């Protein structure tokens, strides 16, 4: 079993940069352009790894450490998920807290690194990133608590119901397949969280060149070379992490076949991101809170519906 899990983890580590390629292709296709090659992110990573780095003299040690830290926590968080529907060998009761705060730690590192540069742009980006992720966090936990209460009702022990491996391991999909259709709102909630956490349209515009409007991109303006590659790769892994949350709720437990379905769903999520980005403008920064509120309301609704039964 561990072998299959490791295989899934390896696939995640290998395929994650492909997600960005898929998103770009879908966007280009809708706009009637050819678009970048599907494998462009891999080329970019390879190119950046060969480059030397420019580091501003105002930057301290943290600026250099942050990218490596961010990648480490992204891999660690990913390894807590039941990838491909296989329970993680690292699972434990309450591991969702660790996963959430590992990602939080990565973000914290990046924010500190951004402030370290002393640039007013990066400070602004850091402030925005901190605000939006602080607002997204309660919604993430609310959605998780809906799932735990569901599994407690279904007769799981407390030990199991507080682990990502159960919540996203196929049993949740079993629950909506057996008639609890309100649970289908949860993948939507996680998809909206994905858009916020990964700085995609309508929250942030990853393709813009306008520093004043950026959130995530402006924080990494000063990074270059291999360190930028680490950040890019960590970003791709984070995207895979959130897409996995959606897949974990949609794919039922089918043994080995569910691994393939997981990856298919993750690619579909990438297509969905591409469709959203191609058909929507970005929200004014002030309205992002409304967007997050909508996601929170949806999660609360699922909780109410599932408790009413």
List interacting residues with other proteins (CB under 8 A): 27, 30-33, 120-121, 123-124, 201-202, 205, 207-213, 277-287
- Name which of 25 and 151 has its Cβ closer to other proteins: 25
C-alpha 52: how far from chain center:
29
Closest CA to 155 of 171, 142, 177: 171
Closest separation between CB of residue 57 and other proteins, Å?
A: 19
Least distance (Å) between residue 34 CB and other proteins: 11
Q: Sign of torsion, CA 27 233 270 202? A: negative
Say what the alpha-carbon torsion angle 99, 105, 106, 108 is, to the nearest 10 degrees.
150
Please identify, using beta-carbon distances, which residue of 27 and 180 lies nearer to other proteins: 27
Please give the C-alpha separations between residue 24 and each of 38, 54, 141, 193, 208, in angstroms, as whole numbers. 8, 28, 30, 20, 13
* Least spacing, CB of residue 126 vs other proteins, in Å: 12
The nearer residue to other proteins, 286 or 309, going by C-beta atoms, is 286
Closest CB to other proteins among residues 135, 154: 135
Nearest approach in angstroms of CB 74 to other proteins is: 25
CA 188/CA 294 separation, integer angstroms: 11
Write down the H helix ranges in the chain: 2-31, 40-50, 61-78, 95-116, 120-153, 158-161, 164-167, 171-177, 185-197, 216-219, 225-250, 256-279, 288-308
Shorter beta-carbon distance to other proteins: residue 185 or 288: 288
Q: How far apart are CA 110 and CA 63, in angstroms?
A: 8
CB of 77 to other proteins, least distance (A): 28
Where does residue 88 fall: left (phi above 0), alpha (psi -120 to 50 degrees), or beta otherwise? Answer: beta
**Residue 281 Cβ, how far from other proteins at the closest point, in Å?**
4
Sign of the Cα pseudo-torsion (283, 265, 143, 13, in order): negative
Q: Which is nearer to other proteins, 33 or 47 (CB)?
A: 33
For other proteins, which is the closer residue by CB, 122 or 182? 122
Retrieve residue 8's tokens.
Answer: 């899934």
Closest approach of other proteins to the CB of residue 123, in Å: 7
Tell me the C-alpha to C-alpha distance, in Å, between residue 125 and each of 66, 118, 199, 204: 16, 12, 11, 11
Rounded to the nearest whole angstrom, what is the least distance from the CB of residue 277 to other proteins in the complex? Answer: 7
Nearer to other proteins among residue 29 and residue 141 (C-beta):
29
């Amino acid at each position: 079993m561990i072998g299959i899990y490791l295989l899934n983890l390896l696939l995640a580590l290998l395929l994650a940069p492909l997600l960005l390629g898929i998103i770009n292709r879908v966007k280009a296709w809708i706009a009637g352009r050819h678009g970048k090659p599907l494998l462009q992110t891999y080329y970019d990573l390879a190119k950046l790894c060969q480059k030397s780095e420019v580091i501003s003299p105002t930057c301290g040690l943290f600026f250099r450490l942050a990218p490596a830290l961010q990648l480490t926590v992204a891999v660690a968080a990913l390894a807590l998920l039941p990838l491909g529907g296989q329970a993680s060998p690292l699972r434990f009761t309450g591991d969702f807290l660790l996963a959430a705060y590992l990602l939080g730690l990565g973000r914290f590192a990046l924010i500190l690194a951004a402030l370290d540069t002393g640039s007013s742009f990066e400070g602004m980006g850091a402030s925005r990133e901190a605000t939006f992720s602080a607002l997204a966090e309660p919604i993430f936990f609310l959605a998780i608590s809906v799932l735990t209460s569901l599994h407690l009702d279904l007769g799981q022990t407390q030990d199991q119901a507080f682990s990502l491996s159960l919540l996203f391991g196929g049993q949740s999909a079993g629950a909506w397949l057996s008639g609890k259709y309100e649970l289908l709102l949860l993948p939507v909630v996680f998809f909206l969280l994905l858009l916020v956490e990964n700085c995609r349209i309508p929250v942030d515009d990853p393709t813009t060149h306008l520093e004043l409007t950026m959130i995530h991109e402006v924080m990494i303006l000063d990074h270059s070379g291999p360190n930028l590659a680490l950040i890019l790769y960590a970003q791709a892994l984070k995207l895979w992490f959130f897409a996995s949350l959606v897949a974990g709720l949609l794919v039922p437990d089918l043994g080995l076949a569910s691994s393939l379905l997981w990856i298919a769903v993750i690619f579909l999520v990438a297509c969905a991101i591409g469709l959203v980005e191609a058909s929507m403008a970005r929200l004014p920064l002030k309205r992002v809170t409304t967007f997050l509120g909508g996601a929170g309301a949806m999660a609360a609704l699922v909780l109410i519906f599932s408790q009413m039964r």
